[in-house]
Amino acid sequence: MQIRKIIEGVTGSVRSAAAGISQRSSRFFTDSEGEHHRIRRLAVVGTAAAVFTVSGATAAWAISNSGEQAPVAEVAAEAPVGTTEAPVATKAPATTKSPATKEPVPEQTTEEAPVEEPAAPEPEKEPTGPVDIEVADLDDEQEANAVTIIETGKELGFDEQGWAVALATAMQEAKLYNAASEAVPESFDYTDSEVTYSDHDSVGLFQQRTSMGWGSVEELMDPATSASKFYNTLAEVDGWQSMSIASAAQAVQVSAFPDYYAQWEGLAYDIIDAYNSAG
* Angle, alpha carbons 214-139-194 (nearest 5°): 55
Cβ pair 242, 162 in contact under 8 A = no
Q: What is the pLDDT of residues 35-91, one digit of tens each?
A: 444 545 544 445 444 444 444 444 443 445 544 444 433 433 344 444 444 444 444
Residue 166, pLDDT > 90, answer yes
Listing DSSP states for 27-67 in one string gives HHTSSS-THHHHHHHHHHHHHHHHHHHHHHHHHHHHHHH-S
Q: What is the pLDDT of residues 112-133, one digit of tens each?
A: 666 666 665 665 544 455 689 9
Q: What is the pLDDT of residues 13-49, one digit of tens each?
A: 545 544 554 455 444 444 444 444 454 554 444 544 4
Model pTM above 0.75: no
Mean pLDDT, rounded, of the chain: 74
